[in-house]
């Protein structure tokens, strides 16, 4: 196995934490990024830094300088950057109308623009190398827009659009851009849910206002019954890293509960997408 130099965003918890540990354990050099490494995330940063294959970088994906500085640091130290895993994100639930313009801007700045900042900072080096892999963590909510997480769904739909278009743009330059679509897993994200800040509209929804809480209860029951393991996502990241260049699927569903729905939708969209590119004379980008 060739040792890869890997940048992972959002490693203080959840999929990012598991991915950092899994990639390092597999022998890769991991640059694990998170915010506030000297403050609220200091303990997490110190734990990860104990691994000989992990270095910590303080990065806020909403701050272009910290993103660019991190990429520069890695290239200066390693001479290359092989893999970027865009994992940092905000999960949001609630009545869509309660989310103000500022709320939506904050979510999009992390989930969408933050992903794009990191991609754009990494691409010049990957193009120079003629080799690279970018893995964006999307969601099954990037394929189906579930009620009462509408704003989050919109962000993940945007990640899907960025990933799908870029997948075909840069693959002939030696860079693979792909995504993972996780389902619901019991991670720390459930303790960091963002809600809309304008509650003045809630009473106008009547009994519907209780639905988000009911959904949360149902998901908790599902976790207790089925125990989906979030390590599956980290393992899928490793599998994509190990897959030969040009052979990596655009979408990888990781959802042991309802993944068959997403798989079927992905297959149908891929078929029509191929027809679409062919109709516009771009069939050469399909291989």
Sheet arrangement for strand 83-86? 54-58, 29-34, 5-8, 83-86, 132-137, 175-182, 251-254
Would you state the structure tokens that stand for residue 267, as one six-digit string? Answer: 């297959």
Positive or negative torsion for Cα 136, 139, 143, 147? negative
Residue tagged active-site, from 22, 138, 139, 236: 138
Residue tagged active-site, from 22, 139, 156, 236: 156
Contact criterion met (CB below 8 Å) for 134 and 175: yes
Residue tagged active-site, from 4, 12, 29, 91: 12
Distance CA 278, CA 179 (A): 23
Is 138 annotated as catalytic? yes
Rounded to a whole number of angstroms, the distance between the first and last alpha carbons of the chain is 26
- DSSP conformation class of 92: B
Is 12 annotated as catalytic? yes
Residue tagged active-site, from 91, 139, 152, 262: 152
29 - beta bridge partners? 5
Catalytic residues: 12, 138, 152, 156
């Amino acid at each position: 196995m060739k040792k890869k130099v890997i940048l992972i965003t959002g490693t203080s918890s959840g999929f990012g934490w598991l991915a950092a540990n899994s990639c390092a354990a597999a022998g890769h050099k991991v640059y694990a990024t998170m915010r506030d490494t000297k403050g609220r995330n200091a303990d997490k940063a110190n734990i990860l830094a104990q691994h000989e294959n992990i270095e910590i970088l303080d990065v806020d994906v909403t701050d272009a300088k910290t993103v660019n500085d991190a990429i520069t640091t890695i290239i200066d130290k390693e001479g290359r950057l092989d893999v970027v895993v865009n994992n940092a994100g905000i999960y949001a639930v609630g009545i869509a109308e309660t989310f103000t313009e500022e709320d939506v801007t904050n979510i999009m700045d992390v989930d969408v623009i933050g992903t794009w900042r990191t991609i754009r900072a990494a691409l010049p080096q990957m193009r120079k190398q003629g080799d690279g892999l970018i893995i964006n963590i999307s969601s099954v909510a990037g394929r189906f827009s579930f009620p009462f997480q509408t704003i989050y769904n919109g962000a993940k739909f945007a990640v899907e659009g960025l990933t799908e278009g870029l997948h075909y743009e840069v693959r002939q330059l030696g860079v693979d851009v792909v995504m993972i679509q996780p389902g619901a897993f019991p991670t720390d994200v459930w303790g960091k849910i963002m809600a809309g800040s304008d509650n003045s509209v809630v009473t106008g929804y009547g009994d519907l206002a209780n639905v988000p809480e009911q959904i949360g209860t149902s998901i908790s029951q599902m976790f207790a019954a089925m125990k989906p393991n979030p390590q599956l996502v980290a393992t899928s990241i490793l599998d994509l890293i190990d897959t030969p260049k040009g052979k990596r699927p655009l979408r990888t569903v990781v959802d042991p509960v309802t993944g068959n729905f997403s798989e079927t939708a992905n297959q149908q969209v891929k078929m029509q997408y191929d027809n679409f590119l062919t109709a516009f004379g771009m069939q050469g980008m399909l291989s």
